[in-house]
Amino acid sequence: MLHLRFRMRNSLRFDLLEQMKRAVQAMNHRLVQRIQILLEALDENRSYAEIAQRWYTTEVTVKHYVEAFLVKGMASLKYKRPPGRPSKLTKCEQKELCDCIDQGPEACGYDCGCWNSALIADLIEKRFKKVYHVLYIAELLNNLGYTCQRGRFVADHSDELKEKRQTWETETWPATLKLAKEKKAMLLFGDEASFAQWGTLSYTWAKAGVQPVVKTSGTRRAYKVFGLIDYFSGAFFYKTLTKGKFTSESYQAFLLEVLDKTNSHLVLIQDGARYHTSKAMQLFFALHSHRLTVVPLPAYSPDFNPIEYLWRNLKAKATHLRYFPTFDDLVQKVDASLKAFAQLPQDILALMGKYCDSPAIDPSLDFLPVLPTA
């Protein structure tokens, strides 16, 4: 009988020992045993029969380990995940179950709006006459590509909104940009924001198990700000309110200030807030149509208004995880942040990325709009 003797390279022995070390740390006993068998067979040149007796296995298994290692090397040490017990549901039944889950509980005859494990187990038993333990349902759904998620609201006229949003991107916005260039106008995105005295919460680093806490005065008062940013220059106009609510009257006062500070035509893009579209505002826009053109944004589309990102950045800078014992403390901090942003037109222009990246948009200019004088 032919006996082959092997001499293992030091580098290969080192690789095997390192792999065994990782297997021990992972408590992969099967792989640890396989590597030890290989070391004894290839490094110590023990017989297959001796190794099989020592490790309570068969000579065929030892031979298979050695041959696979000689052919594939370290790659032979990777185990495929065992197939496990076959699913009780056929492929067709699994697809039907997925369709039922996607339709929701009410469509399947249940008087509720949320799926849970017990409900799905009941559905499987009634529809497919197969019993699943409720504790296994989560693994079954995970294998089918489902996760437990928090629901979100969507408008019941979402198809109509989707169409209007598409029209804005492909038709309204390009036409508005063209109009602004023809009139050599400032192209202003407008919106309002409120900064609460009780501050705003956000994520931050902290020790595990120790939730960050922020003191609050509990005072239900907010500092309100009107804002406009220019698409072309990054100019930032704002007006603050220490008292009262946003109204058509205060909005008109803000726009009059902006008209006084500028000489060019203004193309104003705004949302459908009531104080933007009231009869008083319609009259105001008609009286100032020679200087002011208004373009409404589609409903429920804050992502189309770049100034929303400015408000987010400003809150992160001014109010996130901060304590304001008095309203004046809040006012001072917000005012300082507003003033700082007004001096950073390039940062404001960076907020226009959604529009500058659009294929329907040409951000190049052959003119400069008339900016406010110092």
Over residues 244-276, the pLDDT tens digits come to 999 999 999 999 999 999 999 999 999 999 999
User: pTM to 2 decimals?
Assistant: 0.61
Q: To which residue do tokens 């602004």 refer?
A: 180
Q: Is 225 a member of any domain?
A: yes
Which one, of 316, 374, 348, 314, lies nearest residue 228 by Cα? Answer: 348
Q: Does one domain contain both 95 and 73?
A: no
Q: Does one domain contain both 264 and 327?
A: yes
11/155: higher pLDDT: 11
Structure confidence at residue 327 (pLDDT): 95
Structure confidence at residue 359 (pLDDT): 41
Structure confidence at residue 153 (pLDDT): 67
Q: Does one domain contain both 119 and 184?
A: no
With 90 as the cut, is the pLDDT of residue 43 above it?
no
Q: Does one domain contain both 349 and 208?
A: yes
Give the pLDDT band (50/70/90) at residue 5: low
Q: Does one domain contain both 217 and 309?
A: yes
With 60 as the cut, is the pLDDT of residue 363 above it?
no
Q: Does one domain contain both 285 and 310?
A: yes
With 50 as the cut, is the pLDDT of residue 367 above it?
no
The pLDDT tens digits of the residues spanning 57-116 come to 898 999 999 888 888 888 888 876 555 566 789 999 999 999 999 999 999 999 888 999
215/151: higher pLDDT: 215
Give the pLDDT band (50/70/90) at residue 56: confident
Structure confidence at residue 249 (pLDDT): 97
Q: Is 200 a member of any domain?
A: yes
Q: Does one domain contain both 65 and 106?
A: no
Structure confidence at residue 81 (pLDDT): 59
Domain that holds residue 58: 10-77
Structure confidence at residue 161 (pLDDT): 85
The pLDDT tens digits of the residues spanning 17-31 come to 888 888 887 778 888
Q: Is 283 a member of any domain?
A: yes
Q: Does one domain contain both 235 and 180?
A: yes
Q: Which residues pair with 43 in a beta bridge?
A: none
Q: Is 82 a member of any domain?
A: no
Q: Is 362 a member of any domain?
A: no
Q: Does one domain contain both 108 and 197?
A: no
Structure confidence at residue 154 (pLDDT): 66
Number of separate domains in the chain: 3
Q: Is 169 a member of any domain?
A: no
Q: What is the mean pLDDT of the chain?
A: 87
Q: Which of 47, 77, 107 is the last residue of a domain?
A: 77
CB of 72 closer than 8 Å to CB of 46? no
Q: Is 5 a member of any domain?
A: no
* DSSP sequence for 218-283: ----EEEEEEEEETTT--EEEEEESSS---HHHHHHHHHHHHHH--S-EEEEE---HHHHSHHHHH
- Coil/strand/helix, residue 96: helix
Interhelix angle 29-38/10-25, rounded to 10 degrees, is 160
Q: Which residues pair with 237 in a beta bridge?
A: 228
Q: Does one domain contain both 41 and 15?
A: yes
With 60 as the cut, is the pLDDT of residue 290 above it?
yes
Span between the terminal Cα atoms of the chain, in Å: 101
196/353: higher pLDDT: 196
**CATH number of the structural domain spanning residue 251:** 3.30.420.10
Q: Does one domain contain both 242 and 346?
A: yes
Q: Is 148 a member of any domain?
A: no
Q: Does one domain contain both 331 and 234?
A: yes
Structure confidence at residue 372 (pLDDT): 40
List the 236-241 sheet strands across, edge first.
236-241, 222-230, 186-196, 266-270, 292-296
Alpha-carbon gap, residue 78 to 69, rounded angstroms = 11
